[in-house]
A and B are shown apart, each in its own frame.
Chain A
């Protein structure tokens, strides 16, 4: 049996990133089926303002869909924690910023360890009603992938550089749905200051998710920023500059100016 791995295994452009600046650090966590590329503009924005930025690649992402289908949610959480453990080697204050599933992983990190702040973007808290849910795991060997819906960009130009799988592995979708419940259950244990960002136009994870998040998170210092003119991917779509500015202002408020 002969093995020939692609070289490199990680797709071009899907690599994790580290912009080294000062002692205040930002950990950036991308979403399901995506790649660090989804967070790199936000990371560069924060780095341009003097903050160290590290963007993790979650296990099974940025390689092949079959690799993702083999992973489970604790693998993704472990990847996020790897990033945090490494960033702590550079920074004494860390703000974690997560998009969508990255937001759920940020919640689990924050429930476990003290963080300086938390930016939760487009993060689901409500499990969409789906009668197929109990059948996802048993179905996954036969019906292995779920197609994605049509694109809904306000700024279609960003689709060109986007790196993401073109479908969801059925097996991992079952993991994501579990993770929604697991991360929601952890919300009362999250005490770090939190900025919640959601797009009013998010048709994929509707804004009601952000209302639940705001209501149930244990943090006293919590704010909800609703943006307009963006799809689910608020770090990429047309409202991104508003999101970047809000994230930077939040980091500065909770962690102080760059040092």
Chain B
């Protein structure tokens, strides 16, 4: 019996002394970061893809997920990546971006890439109901996701995610998101934020708001005209991956000269 869904597996690509830790989003799976990770591997970097606790298994597992479980999943990936690379850039999508920024506020990393990270998770009146989420989850374990925002219907077809939001896990998401926002000014590593105008969950003003709160000397915001929330797979995926690779190269100075073309098409 495999407990992890097919294509939901964590991954590792060996490369050079600079490593990229890549983290997927809430209710998502490593699959949404795999192609992105492969592009970074082609550019010569070592890559470790995290599978967050309770993801890519069964939706009910999310009832038991707490912020420390997800933070520990990221720490696990970091320690394994350190077995391949001396320097680490941490990067993630949505919750993965939240966890990447959170990680960078606590650990020395060479850079952070935060993609499609929400600034406001839900309407303030809902947010105030946070203390009641655990009780609510007993009677209403899931709620429906909003309409999908894909630009590329082809990749939408095989997207791997839980179909609905587990209420108890949303409480954990709210908590870790709040702590990340509080810790944003503590980040000293270079930060790249990416976001797309078609994102229904985290539109570009979200990234702009967090960008403004960052105190780090080196910060960069890149907005894409086209594409939905999952920018690592949607229509601008190549530019997203190329922008991330260029950022890693700029902040780490590695590789010194381009020895690989890094592009398959």
Give me the interface of A with B, judged by CB distance under 8 Å. Answer: 1-10, 15-20, 54, 57, 59-60, 63-64, 67, 70-72, 74-75, 77-78, 81-82, 85-87, 89-90, 108, 112-113
Q: Contact between A16 and B76 (Cβ–Cβ < 8 Å)?
A: yes
User: In the bound complex, how far is the Cα of B149 from the Cα of A258, in angstroms?
Assistant: 49
Closest Cβ of chain B to A32, distance in Å, is 17
User: In the bound complex, how far is the Cα of B68 from the Cα of A3, in angstroms?
Assistant: 10
User: In the bound complex, how far is the Cα of B139 from the Cα of A152, in angstroms?
Assistant: 48
Closest Cβ of chain A to B76, distance in Å, is 5
Q: Contact between B9 and A10 (Cβ–Cβ < 8 Å)?
A: no
Interface residues of B in 181-240 (CB under 8 A from A): none
Whether B66 sits at the interface, judged by CB under 8 Å, is yes
Q: Contact between B178 and A10 (Cβ–Cβ < 8 Å)?
A: no
* Given A5-B68, A70-B64, A77-B3, A18:B9 Cβ within 8 A: no
* Given A1-B175, A8-B107, A78:B11 Cβ within 8 A: no
Closest Cβ of chain A to B223, distance in Å, is 30
B63: nearest chain-A partner, CB-CB: A70
Closest Cβ of chain B to A36, distance in Å, is 9
Could you say which residues of chain A place their CB within 8 Å of the CB of B57? 74-75, 78
User: In the bound complex, how far is the Cα of B57 from the Cα of A90, in angstroms?
Assistant: 24
Whether B122 sits at the interface, judged by CB under 8 Å, is no
Q: Contact between A18 and B84 (Cβ–Cβ < 8 Å)?
A: yes
Closest Cβ of chain A to B85, distance in Å, is 10
Q: Contact between A85 and B72 (Cβ–Cβ < 8 Å)?
A: no
A1-B175, A82-B51 are known; give 14 further A-B pairs, CB within 8 A.
Answer: A3-B179, A5-B68, A8-B107, A9-B75, A17-B83, A19-B83, A20-B14, A67-B68, A67-B69, A67-B72, A70-B64, A70-B69, A78-B57, A90-B12
